[in-house]
């Protein structure tokens, strides 16, 4: 009896194992270096080149949420551990708060690197599995639901986001989960499912605001469609609360917890002097029309070639199928937003709806191409429903297997899931562990200083926040997606800090020595680490001479490129 139950459970969950296997294949080299490597490429060199990977942000996020909540017992929505001495609000930062809370016990068990990589695997597996679960309710053929999960979860854009470590944007499983919960609301008309839906939306916001925005972009029209154009067939289901009432219940379950966090913190942060993204800047991050059939090498601007082709092949057969028309219209709306603020037709510039969205979001959202993510969801639904109609006309089941299996293989090649996944092995320095054993309160000054936001960068070495979870003391460097202008201006225009961020030349010797002495005192600097691999030879000498002249500092050793 127990063996039968185990086998039955394994059969019911086989789709989860399928997406787990695909995830392991797609993330190949990261999986084989699970506990030692980070996703993407990091260039450690004396250059002002912007780093192609940003895993350091989300690696730090996971640690900071756990450290703030369970060690310091403070709100994780504020920090002075980066861009010290300022206290920066993190409600507008890509904090991925939920992942930090959920991963806290795993960080203690497996370590931060392994936990980070397991989250990437889990995000892909969840996205595919939940997409399968949603589509399976709307198609007759199990294989098509498997195909839809593959199409949605493993696009070139998602693999690109994995390769730069964006845990927030990988968490697209919220989209099918939200619609799945709404299906339960419509079927049952129970207030408990409405509350679950609202709480789910709130948790998606704690993961990333974009996930909530994308989910609502799909959920709002889907609600209207299911309540008006395609109501539940069983009248007995209408015995519970009305459609309007369950919507209000879900809305309340979403807004009430959000009014405690993160909404008030976000409103407070938005009163700061954040630099706006100009409308013309957002055009740089628009999804090019030609990329629907000729995607470039940048996966963030690609949905592959096969999905647009299958969409075109589906169009002549939609006819009067309202459900397929619905998903086509939703997809068109999403991709119009992804096209950015305008299109130029000859000498005429035509404004697109994203220009309005940009203003509504306070001129802070600058990446319209990401609206392609809910667009892919809608296209996957359209293609699945079209193929479901086709398979219903094919009487021999072996044709089903050939068609669906063949399409899966084509998507594997179209999405290039077989290619080696890029990874970085970060240098491991003992000095950071030595600093961690010093329990005094002090700041660590790493030279050069680098402060970066999603809109500006001052200096080099912002990725050195990767080492903060090891040494666990504040640093002036760091990468936060949103910082007020006053902070970046401070590190640029201050005579000493401007020199330490390589923005200006060092002041005269007597002046700079006095300024550094005051900085060591005011910031309570306990250690200074000179990264010679981030500086040109001349700067290595000038910075070294500056530190050697300080009576408050004593060189304690060298480790590789570090002094």
The SS3 of residue 332 is helix
Greater model confidence, 290 or 373: 373
Are the CB atoms for 84 and 443 separated by under 8 Å?
A: yes
User: Are the C-beta atoms of 46 and 58 separated by less than 8 Å?
Assistant: no
d(CA 187, CA 182) in angstroms, rounded, equals: 9
- CA–CA separation, 186 vs 199, rounded Å? 17
Dump pLDDT digits (tens) for 509-551. 999 999 999 999 999 999 999 999 999 999 999 999 999 999 9
Condensed to tens digits (0 to 9), the pLDDT of residues 418-431 reads: 999 999 999 999 99
Structure token pair of residue 45? 């060199």
Whether the predicted pLDDT of 396 surpasses 80: no
**Segment 326-343, tens digit of pLDDT:** 999 999 999 999 999 998
- 499 CB burial (10 A radius; 0-12, 13-18, 19+): buried
Let me know the angle formed at the C-alpha of 371 by 367 and 374, rounded to the nearest 5 degrees: 155
Task: Report the mean per-residue pLDDT for the chain.
Answer: 93
- What is the structure's pLDDT at 235? 43
DSSP state of 230: S
Residue in the block written with tokens 């961690």: 436
Phi and psi (nearest 5°) for 472?
60, 40
Closest CA to 401 of 151, 133, 135, 146: 146
Q: How far is Cα 170 from Cα 177, in angstroms, rounded to an integer?
A: 14
For residue 398, what pLDDT is reported?
A: 74
For residue 293, the model assigns a pLDDT of 83
Mean pLDDT confidence for 152-157? 97
What contacts 8, CB < 8 A, 6 or more positions away? none
Percent of the chain with pLDDT over 90: 82
Peptide bond before residue 448 is cis, with ω within 30 degrees of 0: yes
Are 323 and 218 contacting, i.e. CB atoms less than 8 angstroms apart? no
Task: Give me the phi and psi of 87, to 5 degrees please.
Answer: -100, 115
Residue 303's nearest CA partner among 283, 281, 330, 331 is 331
Cis peptide before 85 (omega within 30 of 0): yes
Question: What integer is the mean pLDDT of 238-266?
Answer: 89
Distance CA 295, CA 427 (A): 35
Give exposure, 151-161, as e/b (b: 16+ Cβ within 10 Å). bbbbbbbbbbb
Judge contact between 334 and 372, C-beta under 8 A: yes
C-alpha span between 449 and 477 (Å, rounded): 5
**Taking the CA of residue 66 as centre, how many other CA atoms within 13 Å lie in the half-sphere pointing to its CB?**
20
Q: Which of 483, 398, 382, 364 is nearest to 82 (CA)?
A: 483
Residue 460: left (phi > 0), alpha (psi -120 to 50), or beta? beta
Most confident range (mean pLDDT) of 171-180, 227-236, 296-305 is 171-180
| pLDDT greater at residue 244 or residue 397 | 244
- Which pair of tokens denotes residue 387? 């193929």
| Res. 240 pLDDT band, cuts 50 70 90 | low
Across the chain, which distance is largest between two alpha carbons, in Å?
A: 89
The pLDDT, as a whole number, for residue 319 is: 86
Q: CA torsion, points 491, 62, 364, 452, in degrees to nearest 10?
A: 20
Count Cβ atoms below 10 Å from residue 350 Cβ, excluding itself.
Answer: 8
Backbone angles phi, psi at 90, to 5 degrees: -110, 5
**What does the alpha-carbon distance between residue 487 and residue 492 come to, in Å, rounded to a whole number?**
9
Higher pLDDT, 392 or 341: 341
SS3 553: coil
- b/e per residue 11-20 (b: at least 16 CB within 10 A): eeeebbebbb
Name the one residue in this structure whose structure tokens are 């006819």. 319
- DSSP alpha helix (H) spans, 361-396: 372-393
Element containing residue 478 per DSSP (H, E): strand 478-479
* 273 has a pLDDT exceeding 90: no
42-to-32, 53, 99, 422, 461 alpha-carbon distances in Å: 19, 6, 23, 10, 11
Bond from prior residue into 262 cis (ω within 30 degrees of 0): yes
Q: Provide mean pLDDT across the span 368-372.
A: 96
d(CA 202, CA 106): 23
Is residue 300 classed as helix, strand or coil in its secondary structure? helix
Q: Summarize the confidence of residues 161-187 as an average pLDDT.
A: 96
Residues 194 and 186 sit within 8 Å (Cβ to Cβ): no
Q: What is the pLDDT of residues 75-130, one digit of tens each?
A: 999 999 999 999 999 999 999 999 999 999 999 999 999 999 999 999 999 999 99
pLDDT greater than 50 at residue 236: no
Which tops the pLDDT comparison, 294 or 138? 138
Q: Which residue has the higher pLDDT, 299 or 363?
A: 363
Dist CA 50 CA 43 (whole Å)? 9
Tell me if 466 sits within 8 A of 60, measured CB to CB.
yes
Residue 233 predicted with pLDDT over 60: no
Q: How confident is the model at residue 17 (pLDDT cuts 50, 70, 90)?
A: very high
Indicate the pLDDT class of residue 169, thresholds 50, 70 and 90.
very high
Would you give the DSSP letter of residue 316? G
Token pair of 460, please? 């080099």
Average pLDDT over residues 474-496: 96
Q: For residue 377, which of 189, 134, 561 has the smallest C-alpha distance?
A: 134
Average confidence (pLDDT) over 363-379:
95
Would you give the distance in Å from CA 371 to the centre of its chain? 13
In the predicted structure, residue 448 carries a pLDDT above the cut 90: yes
Question: What's residue 239's pLDDT?
Answer: 57
């Amino acid at each position: 009896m127990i063996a039968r139950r185990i086998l039955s459970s394994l059969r019911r969950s086989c789709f989860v194992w399928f997406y787990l296997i695909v995830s392991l294949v797609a993330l190949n080299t990261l999986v084989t270096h699970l506990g030692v490597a980070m996703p993407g490429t990091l260039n450690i060199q004396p250059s002002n080149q912007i780093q192609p990977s940003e895993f350091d942000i989300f690696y730090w996020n996971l640690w900071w949420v756990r450290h703030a909540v369970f060690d310091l017992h403070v709100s994780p929505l504020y920090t002075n551990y980066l861009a010290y001495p300022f206290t920066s609000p993190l409600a507008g930062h890509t904090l991925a708060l939920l992942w930090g809370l959920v991963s806290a016990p795993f960080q203690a068990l497996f370590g931060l690197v392994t936990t980070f990589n397991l989250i990437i695997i889990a995000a892909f597996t969840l996205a595919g599995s939940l997409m399968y679960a949603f589509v399976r309710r709307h198609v007759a053929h199990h294989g098509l639901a498997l195909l839809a999960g593959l199409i949605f979860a493993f696009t070139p854009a998602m693999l690109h986001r994995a390769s730069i470590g964006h845990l927030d944007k990988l968490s697209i499983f919220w989209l099918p989960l939200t619609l799945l919960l709404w299906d339960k609301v419509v079927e049952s008309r129970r207030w408990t499912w409405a509350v679950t839906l609202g709480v789910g939306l709130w948790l998606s916001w704690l993961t990333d605001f974009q996930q909530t925005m994308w989910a609502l972009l799909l959920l709002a029209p889907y609600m209207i469609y299911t309540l008006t154009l395609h109501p539940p067939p069983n009248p007995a289901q209408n015995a519970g609360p009305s459609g309007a009432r369950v919507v209000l219940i879900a809305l309340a379950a979403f807004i009430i917890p959000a009014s405690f966090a993160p909404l008030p913190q976000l409103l407070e942060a938005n009163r700061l002097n954040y630099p706006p993204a100009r409308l013309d800047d957002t055009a740089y991050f628009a999804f090019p029309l030609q990329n629907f059939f000729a995607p470039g090498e940048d996966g963030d601007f690609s949905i592959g070639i096969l999905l647009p082709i299958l969409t075109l092949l589906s169009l002549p057969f939609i006819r009067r199928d309202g459900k397929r028309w619905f998903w086509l219209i939703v997809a068109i709306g999403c991709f119009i937003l992804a096209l950015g603020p305008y299109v130029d037709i000859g000498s005429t510039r035509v404004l697109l709806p994203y220009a309005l969205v940009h203003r509504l979001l306070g001129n802070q959202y600058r990446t319209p191409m990401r609206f392609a993510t809910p667009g892919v969801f809608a296209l996957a639904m359209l293609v699945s429903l079209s193929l479901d109609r086709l398979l219903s006309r094919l009487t021999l089941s072996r044709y089903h297997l050939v068609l669906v299996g063949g399409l899966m293989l084509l998507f594997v090649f179209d999405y290039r899931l077989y290619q080696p996944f890029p990874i970085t092995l970060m240098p491991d320095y003992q000095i950071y562990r030595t600093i961690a054993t010093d329990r005094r309160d002090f700041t660590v000054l790493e030279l050069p200083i680098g402060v970066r936001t999603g809109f500006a960068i001052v200096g080099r070495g912002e990725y050195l926040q990767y080492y903060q979870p090891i040494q666990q003391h504040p640093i002036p460097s760091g990468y936060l997606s949103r910082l007020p202008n006053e902070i970046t201006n401070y590190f640029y225009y201050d005579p000493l800090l401007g020199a330490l961020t390589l923005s200006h030349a060092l002041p005269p010797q007597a002046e700079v020595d006095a300024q550094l002495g005051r900085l060591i005192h005011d910031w309570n600097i306990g250690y200074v680490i000179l990264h010679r691999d981030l500086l040109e030879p001349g700067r290595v000498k000038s910075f070294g001479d500056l530190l050697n002249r300080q009576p408050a500092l004593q060189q304690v050793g060298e480790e590789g490129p570090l002094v």
